[in-house]
Structures are given as structure tokens and as C-alpha cells.
Amino acid sequence: MGSYTLGAKTAVSQGESSTFTGVPGSKSEIDKDEMIRITRKVEFSAAHFYHNPKFSGEENERVFGKCSNTHGHGHNYTLEVTIAGEPDPATGMVLDLKELKDILQAEVVDRMDHRHLNYEVPELAGKIPTCENIAAVIWTLLEPKIRQGKLDRVRLYESADLFADCTADGQ
């Protein structure tokens, strides 16, 4: 399980989605000189609202503001998934990018796109479907499916200026 942090737009790095980098910790057995991170992006739309059943109606409104309206509202989410690893000498790739696309489709888009996240995604049952909680659930769904390289970061944008990060090293 990774950990998540909330980010701001200013924290987004610009430019290439694929960058050489060092190994962040002892977690990886990958040679740091050879390691690279590759990122794939996918979009989906979904509805949600924020409600804590332990709060009174008044508290829900105070804590969550407009997001507490139980009729819900929608977002166009952008998900960036980063895999770290050594490129295979035979293919030059960290992992099969077609396979990664299929995994993102099956685990995230098919599950969440045009869904109401409060009601229709079992993995989010009992959780307030914040950007942070959705990113953490996506991490849990994806991690066991990555067979080449390692899941390094899940970044979920709820809007252009708000995103949550779930990362392997928790930093």
C-alpha cells in the first residue's frame, strides 16, 4: 500500500513524462543507473458527494461545504500512473505499454467511468470518495496487476488545480 499526499498545480513537473531518476529507497532491487519511470495517463468522469454518517447534517455541510449536497456532482478525473523499472534490452521498454493500457481500462475506467462513486464502486464502499481516497483505492487495484517494473506513483487529478499522489516510498 502506498501513501498519498495532496498536491497543488505548481508541484507538477513539466516536460517529458519519462525521466531518468535514482532509486528512492532500499525498496527497489533495480540498478539505479538503469532505472527509468514511465507514465501513462487516462481520463474518466464520475459523480460523488462527501458525507460522513457520523456527522450531523449541519456538520457535514460545515466540513464539506457544497460537496455535501447528496444529489452529487461530477468531475472529469485525469489519472497518471507511473511505473519504475529497467528497460528490457530487447524492447527498450520498462513494461508492455499496451498491457498497462488494458490494465488501466479494466481496473479503473471500466470500474469508475460514468459511475456514481458513492454507490457504484464496491472498493470505495464506506469511504468518502475524496481525491485522496480514490487515488489510494486505485493504487490497491493496480499494484498486484503490474508484473514488469513496480508501481511508483498514482496521481489523480480531480481538476486542473487539484491532485492527490499515492507513492511507493510515501514521499
Residues known to be catalytic: 67, 114, 158
Asked whether the CA dihedral 100, 105, 109, 111 is positive or negative, the reply is negative
Question: Are the CB atoms for 55 and 63 separated by under 8 Å?
Answer: yes
Distance, in Å, from the CA atom of 134 to the CA atom of 140, rounded to the nearest integer, reads 10
Amino acid found at 69: N
